[in-house]
């Protein structure tokens, strides 16, 4: 049996940046509703919405102060219910963020916890006495800025753990009361009709209960993220406890049926990531982020495919990610021409693809003037800010790109090229990035070999990546040119001909009968063989 999320395509929406419906320069839930017809037209199967919960916004919603409501900036619970209803009416599933590792320091739970050492919620967070010298309990580092992951509380004379900002204290999932409360959060949203959860930094939730020091990272150099000075052996992905956490989540969502999806955020080597599938009783899709951090080279990507497929358990379904709200945009990382090749890869490789809003039109990073910086990471670790990839969606060539009304300042500046790089301009352009993306989605949806078939990489000349997707009675060959030079390749001997059905140039539909494939610079092709 194939679940919807195995055949489907997930589209990530950063709600602050998708569509402003009320003229305050910030996107919101009613704005997403306004754009659902576009998403249905595009052909995606599910939307994943980044956090919209009440929050002081120290980390733009990943510091949650109430897990069961909507921040007034984004709308109301009624708006959310209408979003789910309108999405489902169009055949779109709804996935939301679940943030289990930490709350806001303004959450009532933490306010109680820090009020005194004997408060009933004291053990809901991770508190420890100072080290003998009065310093932090261990050497763990915060992911934001690389300072200590411990904050001293003058009132109670102990430190609390925060893997991220000090405004984001870590929850203690070893406390059964915490576990019960947080699993009830899942149930709250499942009862409102959500189809799954993307679990924020899921691999960090369970730490070493002995709080042992992390070892130094011998590969760290100046200019790298300061938080990477240590190897996080004890502060994340602590086994076997982390797998019990996965099972708690899985058991809870399955109370509402087998078709709900759990996606875990983790930046781990393939073998450790694959362990998070468990025996089919943990996460459905531990996020595969390797393309975000690997060189965009044909031989490297082939190696990633082969290694990933080798370590996946037999029951596991793969997934691939090219962009998200934490990383530079794909068109800026590899260039506009190769972004088209990357789109063809993402939508033809085996596994569930996750697309980041705006990548379907080739949006790029936007330089943020110092006075417009919003991301706290940029202030703590200059050069690592995430604002450039979070700028408003470019809908048309009107003032503010159709994101918010004219005369309103959007929360982040728009790209200078929005008058040409936008949905309206590309929607009727037969050679645009949007036209290509929609064609790839349509082909993937129609072809069992592409949405559920097997994969096998093939030998190819330097600079080319070739792989075969197969299903009963159907076979597709994908060849991608990672270079800016013309390239040639011979069809495998088993194939006497190939019918090219799609090119990234959107101008080829031809039968190749002499076994010789010619690719133009930065071209990818899909062929039936």
- Domains of the chain by residue range: 108-161, 454-528
Q: Which pTM was predicted?
A: 0.97
Tell which CATH architecture fits domain 454-528: Sandwich (2.60)
Q: Which band of pLDDT confidence, cut at 50, 70 and 90, is reported for residue 122?
A: very high
Active site residue 507: no
Q: How far apart are CA 243 and CA 100, in angstroms?
A: 14
Query: How confident is the model over 232-258, as a mean pLDDT?
Result: 97
Q: pLDDT at position 376, please?
A: 81
Q: Element (H or E) spanning 134, and its range?
A: none
Contact at 8 Å (CB) between 470 and 488?
Answer: no
Which top CATH class is 108-161? alpha beta
The per-residue pLDDT for range 420-469, each reduced to its tens digit, is 999 999 999 999 999 999 999 999 999 999 999 999 999 999 999 999 99
Q: pLDDT at position 191, please?
A: 98
**Which tokens go with 378?**
């940029």
Catalytic residue among 79, 170, 200, 364: 200
Instruction: Compute CA distances 53 → 61, 66, 313, whole Å.
Output: 6, 6, 35
Residue 379 has pLDDT above 90, yes or no: no
What lies within 8 Å, CB to CB, of 458 at 6+ separation is 466, 467, 468, 477, 492
Q: Find where tokens 């962009």 sit.
A: 323
Phi-psi region of 523 (alpha: psi -120 to 50; beta: other; left: phi over 0): beta
Residue 409 per-residue DSSP state = P
The per-residue pLDDT for range 6-55, each reduced to its tens digit, is 999 999 999 999 999 999 999 999 999 999 999 999 999 999 999 999 99
Active site residue 255: yes
Contact at 8 Å (CB) between 390 and 357?
Answer: no
Q: pLDDT at position 495, please?
A: 87
Catalytic residue among 37, 129, 255, 271: 255
């Amino acid at each position: 049996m194939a679940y919807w999320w195995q055949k489907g395509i997930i589209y990530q929406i950063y709600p602050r940046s998708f569509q402003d419906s009320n003229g305050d320069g910030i996107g919101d839930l009613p704005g997403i509703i306004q754009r659902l017809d576009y998403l249905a037209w595009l052909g995606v199967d599910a939307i994943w919405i980044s956090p919209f919960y009440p929050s002081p916004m120290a980390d733009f919603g990943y510091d949650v102060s109430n897990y069961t409501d909507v921040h007034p900036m984004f709308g109301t619970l009624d708006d959310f219910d209408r979003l789910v209803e309108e999405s489902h009416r169009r055949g779109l599933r709804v996935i939301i963020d679940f943030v289990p590792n930490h709350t806001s320091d303004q959450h009532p739970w933490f306010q109680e916890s820090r009020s005194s050492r004997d408060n009933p919620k004291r053990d809901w967070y991770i508190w420890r006495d100072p080290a003998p010298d009065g310093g932090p309990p261990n050497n763990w580092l915060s992911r934001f800025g690389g300072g200590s992951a411990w904050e001293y509380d003058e009132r109670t004379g102990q430190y609390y753990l925060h893997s991220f900002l000090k405004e984001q204290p870590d929850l203690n999932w070893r406390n059964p009361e915490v576990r019960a409360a947080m699993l009830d959060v899942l149930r709250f949203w499942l009862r409102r009709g959500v189809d799954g959860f993307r679990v924020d930094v899921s691999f960090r939730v369970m730490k070493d209960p002995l709080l042992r020091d992390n070892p130094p990272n011998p590969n760290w150099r100046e200019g790298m993220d300061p938080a990477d000075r240590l190897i996080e052996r004890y502060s994340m992905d602590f086994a076997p406890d982390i797998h019990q956490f996965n099972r708690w989540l899985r058991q809870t969502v399955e109370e509402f049926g087998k078709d709900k999806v759990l996606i875990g955020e983790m930046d781990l080597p393939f073998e450790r990531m694959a362990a998070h599938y468990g025996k089919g009783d943990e996460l459905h899709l531990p996020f595969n982020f390797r393309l975000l951090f690997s060189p965009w080279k044909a031989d490297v990507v082939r190696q990633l495919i082969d290694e990933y497929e080798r370590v996946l358990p037999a029951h596991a379904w793969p997934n691939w990610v090219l962009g998200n709200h934490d990383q530079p945009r794909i068109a800026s990382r590899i260039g506009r021409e190769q972004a088209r090749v990357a789109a063809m890869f993402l939508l033809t490789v085996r596994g569930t693809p996750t697309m980041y809003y705006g990548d379907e039109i080739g949006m790029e990073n936007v330089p943020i003037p110092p006075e417009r910086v919003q991301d706290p990471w940029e202030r703590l670790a200059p050069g690592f800010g995430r604002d450039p990839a979070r700028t408003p969606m470019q809908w048309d060539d009107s003032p503010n790109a159709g994101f918010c009304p004219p005369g309103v300042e959007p929360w982040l500046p728009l790209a200078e090229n929005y008058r040409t790089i936008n949905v309206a301009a590309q929607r009727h352009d037969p050679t645009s990035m949007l036209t290509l993306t929609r064609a790839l989605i349509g082909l993937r949806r129609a072809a069992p070999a592409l949405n559920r078939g097997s994969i096998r990489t093939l030998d190819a000349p330097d600079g080319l990546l070739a792989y075969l997707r197969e299903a009963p009675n159907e076979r597709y060959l994908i060849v991608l040119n990672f270079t800016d030079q013309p390239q040639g390749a011979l069809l495998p001997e088993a194939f006497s001909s190939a019918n090219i059905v799609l090119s990234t140039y959107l101008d080829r539909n031809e039968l190749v009968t002499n076994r010789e494939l010619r690719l133009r610079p930065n071209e990818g092709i899909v062929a039936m063989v």
